Amino acid sequence: MNGIALYGGSFDPPHLGHEAVVKALEKLDFIKKVIIMPTFLNPFKETFTAPAELRLKWLKCIFADDEKVQISSFEVEKKRKVPAVETVKAMLQKYDPIYFVIGADNLASLHKWYRYDELKELVTFIVASRNDIEIPPNFLKLQIGVDIASSDLRDNIDISKLPKKCAQEIAHYYKEHNAKQN
Ligand SMILES: Nc1ncnc2c1ncn2[C@@H]1O[C@H](COP(=O)(O)OP(=O)(O)OP(=O)(O)O)[C@@H](O)[C@H]1O
Ligand SMILES: O=C(O)c1ccc[n+]([C@@H]2O[C@H](COP(=O)([O-])O)[C@@H](O)[C@H]2O)c1
């Protein structure tokens, strides 16, 4: 079976940092496909700004011409918080091995993820560098140097930090739904 990178995230909104992670993954010769998995809601979060269906649509638009990328609606369709271990078990029915991709900021809470001891036996983690956070040597490291965060964009949308495709639509949505401005 083929090895895939499973890249989960809120993508609220998707930005150039996410695109850089995907492009870097595509350069790895052991990755045949990148599956982007937008959350309905991150298990550790209580809210989102853009609804899941919209975030899913934007990701499909951004990566429409990228044959190595697939956007999965698996978690969005569940309409609830889905722990990574549940998604991974479902994806393992079709793909093996699975490389689970996270940004380095997620390392601090990784041990608190639902059934982490089980999850870590099922996948190999690839950790994208971010903000000089140290990545322990037992993780595969992906060098990314894009200092952009969705939380900043939700506060202050900046079209130059969004992937070109669909940038106008995404920017328009966050301008309309910015809690700080409204
Ligand atoms: N600029 C970046 N460089 C490297 N990894 C990133 C970057 N932005 C996001 N990631 C990683 O991609 C995944 C999805 O990110 P997410 O959708 O949460 O965006 P975010 O910018 O981290 O959002 P927020 O600011 O709300 O935390 C996470 O694992 C995150 O750590
Ligand atoms: O499984 C868990 O308990 C768990 C807890 C927190 C985050 N995650 C996953 O981490 C990924 C990144 O989330 P985010 O919100 O930082 O983009 C996403 O796929 C989440 O479902 C998973």
Radius of gyration of the chain (CA): 16
H/E stretch holding 98: strand 98-103
Contact predicate 90/122, CB 8 Å: no
Q: What pLDDT, on a 0 to 100 scale, did the predictor assign at position 139?
A: 97
Percent of the chain with pLDDT over 70: 97
Alpha helices in 41-101 (DSSP H): 52-62, 74-78, 84-91
Residue whose Cα lies nearest atom 26 of ligand 1: it is 151
Residues with C-beta less than 6 Å from any ligand 1 atom: 9-11, 17-18, 21, 102-103, 105-106, 128, 130, 144, 146, 148-151
The distance of Cα 51 from the centroid of its chain, to the nearest Å, equals 15
Q: What spacing in Å lies between the alpha carbon of 49 and ligand 2's midpoint? A: 16
Please state the pTM of the whole predicted model.
0.97
pLDDT at 3 over 90: no
Structure-token pair, residue 74: 């698996």
Q: Where are the beta strands (DSSP E) in the chain?
A: 4-9, 33-38, 69-71, 98-103, 124-128, 140-142
Average pLDDT score, the chain: 96
What size, in residues, is the chain?
182
Q: What is the mean pLDDT of residues 4-30?
A: 98
Give the pLDDT mean for 1-16: 92
The pLDDT confidence band at residue 179, using thresholds 50, 70 and 90, is low
Instruction: Give the residue, by CA position, lying nearest to ligand 2 atom 4.
Output: 113
3-class DSSP state of 126: strand
| Ligand 2 atom index nearest CA of 105 | 16
* Nearest-CA residue for atom 20 of ligand 2: 42
Q: Which of 16, 36, 115 is nearest to 76 (CA)?
A: 36
Domain ranges of the chain: 3-149
Question: Are the CB atoms for 37 and 169 separated by under 8 Å?
Answer: no
Q: Is residue 35 within a helix (H) or strand (E), and if so which, with residue range? A: strand 33-38
Per-residue pLDDT tens over the stretch 91-148? 999 999 999 999 999 999 999 999 999 999 999 999 999 999 999 999 999 999 999 9
- Give the ligand 2 atom nearest the CA of 7: 19
Output the six-digit token pair for 49. 């700004």
- For residue 9, which atom of ligand 1 is closest to its CA? 14
CA proximity to 8, closest of 65, 67, 91 = 91
Give residue ranges with CB within 6 A of ligand 2.
8-10, 37, 39, 42-44, 83-85, 106, 113-114
What is the ipTM score, two decimals? 0.99
CATH of domain 3-149: 3.40.50.620
Decide: 81 and 42 in contact? Cβ < 8 Å. yes
